Structure 1
């Protein structure tokens, strides 16, 4: 069973977005961009590097460069359980 996005964020995962610049297989002078986004763990980024390894082994377009950003959207210290709500006029 796969964990939900909230469970991943509570375990320390953050949203990783990568732009992969690659050369077209038939036109080596043309660069194209592929955008990849997944929840991953910093600083090792196992999912990102796993995807890059997959790309190198299975995709014909050779990578030119990779640019990525990482954002932790939620951390365990920011999570709190609310048991009630009080509405004031």
Structure 2
């Protein structure tokens, strides 16, 4: 599984988290929260779109708001070269 996740990251996928707020079917004034997380390709987010399409067609709770964040875990390393010398006694 870890090898598969690494391969996805090398192909441009990033860790994507979506907070989905939806209304309860029996109590439409109440809003419930659901957190979805997977590796997805930004900015299209095909896996998230597929999940939301499933939600709309098979679940009764109407969607209220979706907040999406993503972070690329495999990125160039940040290096700083320092000019100097440290002497220890």
Query: What TM-score do the two structures reach when normalised by structure 2?
Result: 0.79
Match of 1:69 in 2: 69
Report whether the alignment pairs 1:49 with 2:49. Answer: yes
**C-alpha RMSD of matched pairs (Å):** 1.3
State the secondary structure of the residue aligned to 1:4: helix
Alignment coverage as a number of residue pairs: 75
Distance 1:67 1:37 in 2: 12
Match of 2:11 in 1: 11
Distance 1:5 1:46 in 2: 16
Residue 4 of structure 1 and its aligned partner are, at CA, apart by 1.1
Cα shift readout 1:34-54 (whole Å, capped 9, x = no counterpart) = 000000001111011111111
Residue 29 of structure 1 and its aligned partner are, at CA, apart by 0.4
For structure 2, the residue ranges without an aligned partner over 5 or more in a row are 78-89
Cα shift readout 1:26-77 (whole Å, capped 9, x = no counterpart) = 00000000000000001111011111111100111000010010110004x5
Match of 2:80 in 1: none
Greater Rg by CA: 2
Match of 1:58 in 2: 58
For structure 1, the residue ranges without an aligned partner over 5 or more in a row are 79-89
Query: What TM-score do the two structures reach when normalised by structure 1?
Result: 0.79
